[in-house]
Structure 1
Amino acid sequence: MMPLLPFRLRAALPVALLLTALPAFAEDVVVPREPQIGPRPFYLVDRMKDGPLKRQLAQCTGPFRKTDFSIGHRGAALMFPEHSRESYIAAARMGAGIIECDVTFTKDRELVCRHSQCDLHTTTNILGVPDLAAKCSQPFAPADPATGKKASAKCCTSDITLAEFKQLTARMDGFNPEAKTPEEYQNGTPRWRTDLHATSGTVMSHDDSIALIKSLGAKFTPELKAPEVPMPFDGDYTREKFAAQMIAAYKKANIPPEQVFVQSFDLEIIQFWIRTEPAFAAQAMYLESRYGKGGLDPARPETWKPSMTELKASGVNILSAPIFAMLALNDKGEIVPSEYAKAAKAAGLDLIGWTLERSGPLNKGGGFYYRTVKPAIDRDGDMLTVLDVLAKQIGIRGMFSDWPATTTFYAGCVGMR
């Protein structure tokens, strides 16, 4: 295999060699034509329980292809700062056919990619930039061991302008609750992630994300985040204006609606798009939010109202659900589709799952995303068993993953597109 060369050297190569050396897309970003999945998927296979699926996956060597089944959740957030340029490029290199930008707004009503409007204190270096830290809604307050008070801060995109936002550096999401200084507060990456790729994360405006993801040859899934400031913001900036502004950006960039999977946890926003932007709403994802007082129970339809048939009748075509909601255990302790998943499919809803590779080690049951099947989860390889049930027995359309190589690997090995 020919090694990757600096751009100026590549430009001087013969055409035959360029075919193997050139990046697949624009700029100086190298995105191999065949996704690079690395060792992690094989690590997971090695840790599966013995059986036909393990044998099938253990023999798989590709070829691997970019696939819409593999959705980059905030890019490749397991090991890269979420919603950063570097995270998006990593997701594309791993074969993610769709890449996510969670969309919120700045003080001057510009759109940016952040999981939460008020997460800058845990996902960027803002507390280390005095002029911008001074603008945070709640300045850093140190921990006080004597009273048990934890360190805290609250910094929102709506506290600063787009120009100020672009001065920040993206970092791995996390914080140290025992911190006495801002520097200590920002040293809180979970042990099962890494800071190896987080020294210079590039924050992204929404427009930046559209241009980059387009150049990477991937599709788009922007999520309209719930505002954490009173709306209308700054007098007349309503939720509806925010929602319309997000879609207008794709129109301005001449992105076809069929390449965009808009998302929201707010059913009213989905219905707003159905009324005003039917071409984009045709594949809008309604993110599961029907949590009753006791939480969503995949076995009890009364905890997921409106019903699946009512959702479909209202114009929703895609339901995006947490992994646990779609799974149950049978009498033998085997992982099977839940009543929730079966009802969604029976109503004609497509299902997309969230989120693989977001739970850390699975040796203790996997936490939130695996809570309905926890007794069957005791090793990292179980996530491939779960993914197989979701793909084959339920027929999910795609899976969000913090490490898209895992979903790209699975899709290639079982013949999915």
Structure 2
Amino acid sequence: MRRIAATLALLMAVSPGAATEEAQLGPRPFYLVDSLEPGPLKDRLAACWIDRRYTPRRFSISHRGAPLQFPEHTREGVMAAYRMGAGLIECDVAFTKDRQLVCRHSQCDLHTTTDILARPDLAAKCTKGFAPADPASGRKASAQCCTSDLTLAEFKSLNAKMDAADPEATTLSAYMNATPRWRTDLYATTGTVMSHRDYIALVTSLGRKFTPELKAPQVPMPFAGDYTQDRYAQALIDDYKAAGIPASDVFPQSFQLRDILYWLEKEPDFGRQAVFLDDRDERDKGTFDPEVPETWKPGMAELARMGVRILAPPLWMLVRPGPGGTIEPSAYAREAKKAGLDLIAWSLERSGPLKGGGGYYYQSIKPVVTGDGDVLRLLDVLYREVGVRGVFSDWPATTTFYANCVGAD
């Protein structure tokens, strides 16, 4: 009865700003527990769901909102992440033609994440319009629509959809309607896109913290003559200062080390919490190995000397198979901690069903991944043995549930 009463109180909340201390998890975390192989971890987590309340946790970081089921970087996705107890909520930041900042995972992803191609007036402004696949020649379907093709007002008129496109499509409709079977379009009828300032206002009203990511431009810089990378990096910080947000509530991110170093020099209060996103496995493909420190350039100690405090690699770089089918910390993880770097991992719940090994995010431990319950097995190693301070997730209920069960902040 106590749980029913608490749920009714949540449903009766009039305003999103009416903060609640209780998170709504839904069935997925418990499905994952049920999917675990029998053992101590399953026993601990199964005991955790009995007659208890779940509260928001900073360990639980919303990746693009809640894109497992909601269009990414939308108001609806942010609200879902908030309700699932994400303590930090992400906005990937790109810029428009009139140099306004907006939430979008890539500067040039509007053709896969919004309805722009179905809007002839706006589709005409795309860098590259839709071209259907040609089976005879082997040509793939393609398009390229960028935030920098549109003004802020034009961008905000778009409706977001689930991120997907079919490269084999010979029609526009087939190209746009390609959501993977393991996701859903159930909540994609409305996808309210947001400017960076909209996101700041919404997350402020919800009482959560911010983790904006400055996306690498996909157009030549300086843009329009004088919009440099440094001006772009500064504009992100300026939006928080204008809104009166304390630096302690903001964890700016970038894959470009130059942005982290810029913030450390020009905005040190924000720079001290900056998150260096590590994609050296992609940039140094063929040479990078998370088990061979000589392939990490710069190395962990060098990053620390530069002032980097928080390092965020993909999940797989932090773990490796251990004895007897277990999972253990990688050399990369051990060296990062030895250098005094805090770690954040990305991105849980992005891989779909794990029956086939989990793909990119699980590549280092594919031999020991057998099913969906391994989401929680990996999460347990990341927290207890690697010592991560947080995990990005496409479905924050999972990380919120785990954090509550183990007492993570």
- Class of the TM-score when normalised by the shorter of the 2 chains: over 0.9
What's the secondary structure of 2:61's corresponding residue? strand
1:38 alignment counterpart: 26
1:202 counterpart letter in structure 2: T
2:31 counterpart letter in structure 1: Y
Contact 2:10–2:20 (CA<8 Å) still a contact in 1?
no
Contact 1:266–1:289 (CA<8 Å) still a contact in 2?
no
Deviation of 1:375 after TM superposition, in Å, equals 0.4
2:315 pairs with one of 309, 319, 323: 323
With over 3 angstroms needed to count, the CA separation of the structure-2 counterparts of 1:196 and 1:395, relative to structure 1, is same
1:22 alignment counterpart: 13
Contact 2:88–2:211 (CA<8 Å) still a contact in 1?
yes
Deviation of 1:329 after TM superposition, in Å, equals 1.5
2:45 alignment counterpart: 57
2:252 alignment counterpart: 262
Please state if 1:372 is matched with 2:364.
yes
- In the alignment, the residues of structure 2 paired with residue 155 and residue 180 of structure 1 have an alpha-carbon distance, to the nearest angstrom, of 18
| Residues 266-319 of structure 1: CA deviation (Å, up to 9, x unaligned) | 011100110000000111000013332415311011221111111011100000
1:287 alignment counterpart: 277
1:242 pairs with one of 211, 232, 235: 232
What's the secondary structure of 1:100's corresponding residue? strand
Contact 1:24–1:32 (CA<8 Å) still a contact in 2?
no
Contact 1:100–1:223 (CA<8 Å) still a contact in 2?
yes
What's the secondary structure of 2:263's corresponding residue? helix
1:341 alignment counterpart: 333
What's the secondary structure of 1:332's corresponding residue? helix
Deviation of 1:31 after TM superposition, in Å, equals 6.0
- In the alignment, the residues of structure 2 paired with residue 74 and residue 43 of structure 1 have an alpha-carbon distance, to the nearest angstrom, of 23
Residues 215-234 of structure 1 correspond to what in structure 2 (within 5 A)? Answer: 215-234=205-224
- In the alignment, the residues of structure 2 paired with residue 274 and residue 397 of structure 1 have an alpha-carbon distance, to the nearest angstrom, of 21
What's the secondary structure of 1:59's corresponding residue? helix
Structure 2 unaligned blocks of 5 or more: none
Contact 1:69–1:97 (CA<8 Å) still a contact in 2?
yes
1:299 counterpart letter in structure 2: E
Deviation of 1:201 after TM superposition, in Å, equals 0.4
- In the alignment, the residues of structure 2 paired with residue 346 and residue 145 of structure 1 have an alpha-carbon distance, to the nearest angstrom, of 53
- In the alignment, the residues of structure 1 paired with residue 19 and residue 132 of structure 2 have an alpha-carbon distance, to the nearest angstrom, of 43
| Residues 4-38 of structure 1: CA deviation (Å, up to 9, x unaligned) | 89xxxxxxxxxxxx899435742xxx764300000
2:103 alignment counterpart: 113
- In the alignment, the residues of structure 1 paired with residue 242 and residue 121 of structure 2 have an alpha-carbon distance, to the nearest angstrom, of 33
With over 3 angstroms needed to count, the CA separation of the structure-2 counterparts of 1:393 and 1:94, relative to structure 1, is same
1:42 counterpart letter in structure 2: F
- In the alignment, the residues of structure 1 paired with residue 220 and residue 12 of structure 2 have an alpha-carbon distance, to the nearest angstrom, of 51
2:199 alignment counterpart: 209
| Residues 167-219 of structure 1: CA deviation (Å, up to 9, x unaligned) | 10010000122222222211011111000000010000000000001111110
1:48 counterpart letter in structure 2: L
What's the secondary structure of 2:117's corresponding residue? helix
What's the secondary structure of 1:234's corresponding residue? coil
1:296 alignment counterpart: 288
2:190 alignment counterpart: 200
- In the alignment, the residues of structure 2 paired with residue 73 and residue 293 of structure 1 have an alpha-carbon distance, to the nearest angstrom, of 25
1:310 alignment counterpart: 302
Please state if 1:82 is matched with 2:77.
no
- In the alignment, the residues of structure 2 paired with residue 58 and residue 217 of structure 1 have an alpha-carbon distance, to the nearest angstrom, of 30
- In the alignment, the residues of structure 2 paired with residue 221 and residue 85 of structure 1 have an alpha-carbon distance, to the nearest angstrom, of 16
Contact 1:3–1:21 (CA<8 Å) still a contact in 2?
no
How many residues are paired up?
Answer: 402
- In the alignment, the residues of structure 2 paired with residue 296 and residue 355 of structure 1 have an alpha-carbon distance, to the nearest angstrom, of 20
Deviation of 1:106 after TM superposition, in Å, equals 0.4
1:357 counterpart letter in structure 2: E
Deviation of 1:102 after TM superposition, in Å, equals 0.2
- In the alignment, the residues of structure 1 paired with residue 323 and residue 86 of structure 2 have an alpha-carbon distance, to the nearest angstrom, of 36
Pick which of 268-277 and 288-297 moved more: 288-297
1:393 pairs with one of 378, 382, 385: 385
2:36 pairs with one of 41, 44, 48: 48
| Residues 378-408 of structure 1: CA deviation (Å, up to 9, x unaligned) | 1000010000000001110000000000000
2:373 alignment counterpart: 381
With over 3 angstroms needed to count, the CA separation of the structure-2 counterparts of 1:21 and 1:293, relative to structure 1, is closer
1:377 counterpart letter in structure 2: V
2:42 counterpart letter in structure 1: K
- In the alignment, the residues of structure 2 paired with residue 31 and residue 402 of structure 1 have an alpha-carbon distance, to the nearest angstrom, of 22
What's the secondary structure of 2:328's corresponding residue? strand
Pairwise CA RMSD: 1.6
| Residues 63-121 of structure 1: CA deviation (Å, up to 9, x unaligned) | 21101000000011100000000000000000000000000000000000000000000
Misfit runs of 4+, over 6 Å? none
Deviation of 1:332 after TM superposition, in Å, equals 3.0
- In the alignment, the residues of structure 2 paired with residue 4 and residue 327 of structure 1 have an alpha-carbon distance, to the nearest angstrom, of 38
